Amino acid sequence: MTVAAPDVRFGADGLAPAVVQDAADGRVLMLAWMDAEALAATTATGEVHFHSRSRDRLWRKGETSGHVLRLVDLTVDCDADALLVTVDPVGPTCHRETRSCFDPDGAAASAKPGAAASPAATAHGLGWLETLWSTIASRVAERPRGSYTTSLLEGGVDAVARKVTEEATEVLLAAKDDAARDASGADRDMTRERITEETADLMYHALVLLAERGVEPADVVRVLRARHGR
């Protein structure tokens, strides 16, 4: 997707503040600075660039961590001297491995007591899946010996897809066991934990299947976003 660069009134130092917002739910992820070079690089590549004031140079977000910001939209405020950068983030945005630079360490901002939790205010840890995907992608490229992921990949699509089917069945059985205990009023700690474990296995193997077929998780998210609210 191509995004046109808006007209910006840069300050005397050649910079303008850039507020970065997650396209999925509007969560503010970070604040940084752009100059004309960073703005041009952002629109040209589709990945967000900033001007690093500490290093006095162009900086592509995620150039060392891999946690890039994929550009969705660019707008300016009413005075045209500040930018709102809407993005699809790859992994946590903050260097502390939190989703947002405005989150406390290790978590997303929590909802106010008594208030309903919103997507922006609830920490489910889904951002960590980027770390898992990075590991799986590295196994695709490097194929280290002794790796379970490597053994799956070397079995081809049949081996990986078979595991996805097996794990989906295990999730079904775990859910039915939990439902039966729920109906009987029995303790569900063990069955709920089994659902958790089996779902973890299913998600992992589904990601390996995507990697084996060369499909990016971002494409799956794109489809989910398109379906959301229908």
Nearest to 85 by CA among 49, 128, 133, 136: 49
Does the pLDDT at position 210 exceed 90?
yes
Under the banding of pLDDT at 50, 70 and 90, the label for residue 230 is low
Q: What would the pLDDT profile of 62-104 be if each residue is shown by its tens digit?
A: 988 888 999 999 999 999 999 999 999 988 898 888 889 998 7
Q: What is the mean pLDDT of residues 15-32?
A: 92
**Which domains are assigned to the chain?**
16-89 (3.10.20.810), 126-227 (1.10.287.1080)
Owner of token pair 């474990």:
197
> Is residue 136 within 8 Å of residue 152, measured between CB atoms?
no
Q: So what's the pLDDT on residue 70?
A: 92
Looking at residue 114, its amino acid is: G
Query: Rounded to whole angstroms, how far apart are CA atoms 59 and 42?
Result: 10
Tell me the per-residue pLDDT of 4-18, one tens digit each, with 9 for 90 and over. 888 999 999 999 999
Give me the DSSP letters along 100-140: STTSPTTSPPPPPTTSPP-TTT----GGGHHHHHHHHHHHH
Written as six digits, the tokens of 75 are 């707008």
Residue with the larger pLDDT of the pair 28 and 230: 28
Residue whose tokens read 């950068």? 85
Give the contacts of 59 (CB within 8 A, at least 6 positions apart): 38, 49, 50, 51, 52
pLDDT of residue 129: 84
Window from 13-17, 28-32, 119-123, 136-140 with minimum mean pLDDT = 119-123
pTM of the shown model: 0.54
At position 105, the amino acid (one-letter code) is D
Q: Report how far residue 189's alpha carbon sits from residue 177's, in angstroms, rounded to the nearest whole number.
A: 12
Residue 99 has what pLDDT? 86
pLDDT confidence of residue 119:
42
What phi, psi does 226 have (nearest 5°)? -65, -35
Residue 143 confidence class, pLDDT cut points 50, 70, 90: very high
Buried b (16+ CB within 10 A) or exposed e, 55-66: eeebbbbbeeee
E strand or H helix that includes residue 219: helix 217-227
One-letter identity of residue 85: V
